[in-house]
Structure formats: structure tokens, C-alpha cells
Amino acid sequence: QSVLTQPPSASGTPGQRVTISCSGSNSNIGSNPVNWYQQLPGTAPRLLIYSDSQRPSGVPDRFSGSKSGTSGSLAIRGLQSEDEAVYYCAAWDDRLNGIWVFGGGTKLTVL
């Protein structure tokens, strides 16, 4: 069971906007930045969003992140077929001298 809670699946049609939620607690999202990773089939994860809402260079501005309290959210606008992937949220957790925790992942299907 993952420390951060994500919906197992999400879907949308090309051009739509979809959001993926990530719920945590005061010891992780409530007091530390949220990061999002994209994992395309058969590949290593890729950093998509860091520090709640920042995009690394090369990540399209169709991807955006936000945080409120102990929950984070990833939004994808103008959905494209190549966005079909599994998305993971992660955050530093202040318990046990500090650990990183992941969400269970959300499989995004582009219909």
C-alpha cells in the first residue's frame, strides 16, 4: 500500500484536459514539494514536474502541477496519444529521519 494515494486509472480523448490527484499527509505533501514522473511503456521514469509546479526544460507546457494542503495535482491539457503512460507522484516524507514516498501510479489511457 503506497503512502501517497493516486487513482489507479484515468482517461481522456485527444485534445481534452485531464487531471490526476495525489493525496498525502502533513509529513510529506503537507510540508514538502510534490514531484511528478511519467513512465512510458518499457522505459525508465522521467521527471515531469518538480517543486509542486516547475517544469524541467524539455517538458511541454501542456503539463502543469499544483498543490493545496496535503494534496497535489497534475493537469494535462490538449491531451495527445503520446501522453499515454503511467504517472507517479512523489514527495519527501519527514518521518524516520527522512524518506521519499511514491504514489501507486495512475495509468492514463488516451481513448
Interface with another protein by CB under 8 A: which residues? 2, 32-33, 35, 37, 39, 44-47, 50-51, 56, 86, 88, 90, 92, 96-105
CB of 15 to another protein, least distance (A): 28
CB of 89 to another protein, least distance (A): 10
Q: Which residues lie across from 37 on neighbouring strands?
A: 47, 88
**Of the two residues 1 and 13, which places its CB atom closer to another protein in the complex?**
1
Rounded-to-integer distance, Cα 12 and Cα 26, Å: 31
